[in-house]
């Protein structure tokens, strides 16, 4: 493929990339299924233990600790999005001059640290309060084999262009992703949905009048 063909392809991809983030989906389905299985095993154990010992104090302690064990077996990442973008690579010696543009496809994941989840039980309000840490955007994955270039400068280091472009593209998509409110919004929504699906069977066994409340410890 000659330079003209590559440039045409890159321009076409750049046009398609307008609008930014593409198809998004909830990820780590297999991990979630494993977590549900673990939760089911834990629930059976707790229910059987409750039948053997109906004292109120042991059950109060067991409720919160069991919920934390169930939740902390779930997935760390709760949202994935594919992004098509174009990064600008400037001349290292003349920062104002463009060497080339590079079109790329990247995958961005967002989620939170499950080790920082806190669960409390409010008997007065009949609530299980799940406190969640701030959502993080993890290091993006750029498909280096799909990079396309539009060369502008006359002196481009072709021997290192792939490595240089790969690094610039990762920085470009990471910066754009961190400023996308939608990523945080959907990561939170999917995180709540996943955790609620894990804990609700146990909560219902505990007391059907209890509800689950989520509290996020961030500013978004």
CA dist 41 → 36, 47, 58, 210 (Å): 9, 10, 19, 22
Q: What is the pLDDT of residue 70?
A: 63
Give the total number of structural domains in the chain.
1
pLDDT band at 199 (very low <50, low <70, confident <90, very high): confident
pTM above 0.75, yes or no: no
Report the range of poorest mean pLDDT among 61-65, 78-82, 143-147, 213-217. 61-65
Residues spanned by the domain of 154: 3-216
Interacting residues of 81 by C-beta distance below 8 A, sequence separation 6+:
21, 22, 23, 24, 107, 108, 177, 183
HEC per residue, 83-102: EEEEEEEECCCCCCCEEEEE
**Which pLDDT does position 201 carry in this prediction?**
84
Predicted confidence at residue 62, as pLDDT, reads: 56
pLDDT in tens, 145-174: 999 999 887 777 777 888 999 999 999 999
- The confidence score (pLDDT) of residue 152 equals 87
Q: Give pLDDT, residue 205.
A: 80
Residue 50: the pLDDT is 41
Pick from 12-26, 47-61, 166-180 the range whose average pLDDT is largest.
166-180
Look at residue 39 and tell me whether its pLDDT is greater than 70. Answer: no
What per-residue confidence (pLDDT) applies to 196?
Answer: 87
Strand-strand pairing, 211-216 and 127-132:
parallel
Q: In the predicted model, is pLDDT for residue 57 greater than 50? A: no
Nearest to 138 by CA among 75, 212, 44: 75
Quick check: 25 pLDDT over 60? Answer: no
What H or E segment, with its residue span, contains residue 188?
helix 181-206
CA dihedral 6, 12, 13, 19 (to 10 degrees): 160
Asked whether the predicted pLDDT for residue 197 surpasses 60, the reply is yes
Contacts made by residues 1-8, CB under 8 angstroms, sequence distance 24+: 3/151, 6/148, 6/149, 7/149, 7/150, 7/151
Residue, of 191 and 28, whose pLDDT is higher: 191
Of the two residues 95 and 168, the one the predictor is more confident about is 168
C-alpha to C-alpha distance for 95 and 92, rounded to whole angstroms: 6
Cβ(66)–Cβ(16) below 8 Å: no
Q: What is the mean pLDDT of residues 117-127?
A: 88
Mean pLDDT of the chain, nearest integer: 74
Listed residue (98, 99, 88) closest to 158, CA to CA: 99
């Amino acid at each position: 493929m000659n330079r003209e063909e590559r440039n045409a392809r890159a321009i076409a991809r750049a046009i398609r990339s307008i609008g930014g983030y593409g198809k998004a989906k909830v990820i780590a389905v297999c991990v979630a299924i494993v977590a549900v299985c673990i939760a089911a095993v834990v629930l059976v154990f707790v229910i059987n233990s409750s039948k053997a010992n109906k004292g109120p104090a042991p059950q109060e302690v067991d409720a919160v600790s069991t919920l934390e064990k169930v939740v902390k077996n779930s997935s760390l990442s709760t949202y994935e999005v594919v992004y098509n973008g174009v990064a600008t690579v400037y001349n290292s010696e003349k920062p104002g001059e463009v060497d080339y543009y590079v079109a790329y496809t990247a995958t961005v994941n967002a989620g939170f640290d499950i080790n920082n989840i806190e669960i409390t039980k409010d008997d007065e309000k009949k609530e299980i309060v799940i406190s969640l840490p701030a959502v993080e955007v993890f290091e993006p994955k750029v498909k280096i084999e799909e990079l396309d270039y539009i060369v502008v400068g006359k002196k481009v280091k072709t021997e290192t262009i792939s490595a240089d472009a790969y690094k610039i593209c990762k920085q470009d998509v990471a910066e754009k992703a961190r400023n996308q409110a939608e990523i945080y919004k959907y990561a939170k929504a999917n995180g709540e949905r996943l955790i609620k699906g894990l804990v609700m069977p146990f909560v219902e066994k505990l007391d059907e009048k209890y509800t689950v409340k989520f509290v996020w410890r961030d500013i978004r």
